């Protein structure tokens, strides 16, 4: 799983399993392990060659590869289709079942791969919060954003997401406090200043920049369009009088939404 598709020699497998304390019959034990893996994964799952063994399981059957592709896909989607990105990330994070490759963490290659996957997991969590913010779900995502900052307070993106969620939820003082706490922890732990985006966010919060809440407006318009679409479907089975009344209510609601956005 660390090197899917690559040939791994029996010597490397033995080193992973026993290190310098090889049993006398290690070659037969490795062969027996491969046989048992083939029974579990399928006869064609592991290919034998003069140089060793190669995992030939399709990528879609390896959770780590499915997870990585989903995170990459969501990263592309989040700016244009936040709801879809959130759904992709939700499915990806459900694949996570704890620390990866814990059984072989003494192997350097496994430790490197595990660290890479852990970074991807943290990126997926952050992008999921960003997708929620872009969808206008700032209040519902507050708790998740706070938990992420508590888990990794030095990751600046997390504080940016939390402060944005707080500001959009009407908690300007808390948003500013989040930014100031990040500055303090970076100075105390690393002796560095935050990235320029933190300065820009702090200034935007202080002057109540309307640009901090575009996602809420976009979500409101999206919701209005969805309501209209649903109403059109419902109205097909109603009377003419019901359809007329519904159309007027929805038209008035949409007009009000446009006025509110114009005032903002």
Domain range for 253 is: 214-263
Examine residue 248 and state whether it is found in any structural domain, yes or no: yes
**Can you give the CATH number for the domain in which 198 is found?**
1.25.40.10
> Is there a single domain that holds both residue 194 and residue 228?
no
Confirm whether 157 is domain-assigned. yes
Q: What is the mean pLDDT of residues 131-143?
A: 88
Pair 224, 195 in one domain: no
Whole-number pLDDT of residue 245:
63
- Whether residue 37 is contained in a domain is answered as yes
Residue 145 domain-assigned (yes or no): yes
Residue 95 lies in a domain: no
Same domain assignment for residues 188 and 229: no
> Is 153 part of any domain?
yes
Query: HSE (CB half, 13 Å, CA atoms) of 105?
Result: 7
Residue ending a domain, choose from 15, 38, 57: 57
**Model confidence pLDDT, tens digit, residues 216-256:** 455 555 555 555 555 555 555 556 666 666 666 566 555 54
pTM over 0.75: no
| 149-172 average pLDDT score | 94
Rounded Cα–Cα distance for residues 230 and 224 (Å): 10
List the beta bridge partners of residue 66: none
CA distance 204 to 169: 15
Helices then strands, each counted (H, E), the chain? 11, 3
Structural domain count of the chain: 3
């Amino acid at each position: 799983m660390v090197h899917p598709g690559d040939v791994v020699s029996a010597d490397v497998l033995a080193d992973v399993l026993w290190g310098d304390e090889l049993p006398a019959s290690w070659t037969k034990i490795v062969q027996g392990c491969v046989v048992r893996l083939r029974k579990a994964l399928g006869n064609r799952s592991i290919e034998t060659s003069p140089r060793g063994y190669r995992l030939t399981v399709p990528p879609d059957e390896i959770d780590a590869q499915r997870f990585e592709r989903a995170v990459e896909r969501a990263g592309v989607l989040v700016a244009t289709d936040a709801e879809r990105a959130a759904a992709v990330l939700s499915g990806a994070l459900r694949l996570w079942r704890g620390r990866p490759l814990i059984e072989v963490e003494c192997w350097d290659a496994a430790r490197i791969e595990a660290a890479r996957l852990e970074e991807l997991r943290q990126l997926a969590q952050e992008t999921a919060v960003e997708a929620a913010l872009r969808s206008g779900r700032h209040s519902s995502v507050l708790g998740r954003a706070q938990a992420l900052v508590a888990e990794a307070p030095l990751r600046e993106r997390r504080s940016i997401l939390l402060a944005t969620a707080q500001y959009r939820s009407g908690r300007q003082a808390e948003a500013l406090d989040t930014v100031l706490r990040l500055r303090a922890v970076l100075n105390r732990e690393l002796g560095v200043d935050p990235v320029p985006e933190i300065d820009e966010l702090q200034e935007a919060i202080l002057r109540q920049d309307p640009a901090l809440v575009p996602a809420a407006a976009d979500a409101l318009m999206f919701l209005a369009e969805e309501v209209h679409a649903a109403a059109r479907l419902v109205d097909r089975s109603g009377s003419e009088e019901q359809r007329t009344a519904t159309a007027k209510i929805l038209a008035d609601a949409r007009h009000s939404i446009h006025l509110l956005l114009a005032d903002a």
